[in-house]
A and B are shown apart, each in its own frame.
Chain A
Amino acid sequence: MQDLKVSLIEVFSERHLVETFDELTLTVDSQDIIKTCLKLRDSFSFDTLIDLCGVDYLTYGQSDWNGNASASGFSRGRNHQGLEDRHEQRFAVVYHLLSVSKNKRIRVKSFVDEAEPIIKSVTDIWASADWYEREAFDLMGILFENHTDLRRILTDYGFKGYPLRKDFPMIGEVEMRYDEDLGRVVYEKVSIEPNINVPRVIRK
Chain B
Amino acid sequence: MAEIRNYTLNFGPQHPAAHGVLRLILEIDGEVIERADPHIGLLHRGTEKLVESKPYNQSIGYMDRLDYVSMMCNEHAYVMAIETMLGIKVPERAQYIRVMFDEITRILNHLMWLGTHGLDVGAMSIFLYAFREREKLIDCYEAVSGSRMHATYYRPGGVYRDLPDKMPQYLVSDFRTDKELKIMNENRQGSLLDFIADFVKEFPKSIKQYDDLLTDNRIWKQRLVNIGIVSANRAKQLGFTGPMLRGSGVAWDLRKNQPYAVYDQLEFDIPVGMTGDSYDRYLVRMEEMRQSNHIIKQCVKWLQENPGAVMSDDHKVSPPKRADMKDDMESLIHHFKLFTEGYCLPKGEIYRTVEHPKGEFGVYLISDGANKPYRVKIRAPGFAHLAAMDEMVRGHMLSDVVTIIGTQDVVFGEIDR
- Which A residues have a C-beta under 8 Å from some C-beta of B? 20-21, 23, 25, 47-51, 53, 55-56, 60-63, 82, 85, 94, 96, 98, 100, 103, 105, 107, 126-128, 130-132, 135, 139, 152-156, 163-164, 168, 170, 196, 198-204
Contacts and interface: CB of A to CB of B under 8 A. Distances in A.
B48 A164 contact: yes
Contact of A128 (B340, B342, B366, B384): B384
Given A61-B369, A200-B371, A48 B364 contact: no
Given A48-B236, A55-B366, A201-B371, A170 B53 contact: yes
Interface of B: 40-41, 44, 46, 48-50, 53-55, 58, 84-85, 233-234, 236-239, 241, 245, 250, 252, 257-258, 340-342, 344, 347-351, 360, 362, 364, 366, 368-372, 374-375, 377, 379, 383-384, 386-388, 416-417
B222 to A, nearest CB: 30
Contact of B362 (A51, A60, A201): A51
Contacts of B236: 47-48, 100
8 contacts: A55-B366, A107-B349, A128-B238, A154-B44, A198-B372, A201-B370, A203-B344, A203-B369
Contacts of A200: 370-372
Given A48-B239, A100-B236, A156 B387 contact: no
A21 B239 contact: no
Contacts of B360: 50, 98
Contact of A198 (B238, B342, B348, B417): B342
A163 B46 contact: yes
A198 B371 contact: yes
A154 B378 CA distance: 14
B370 A202 contact: yes
B41 A156 contact: yes
A198 B341 contact: yes
B350 A50 contact: no
Contacts of A198: 54-55, 58, 340-342, 371-372
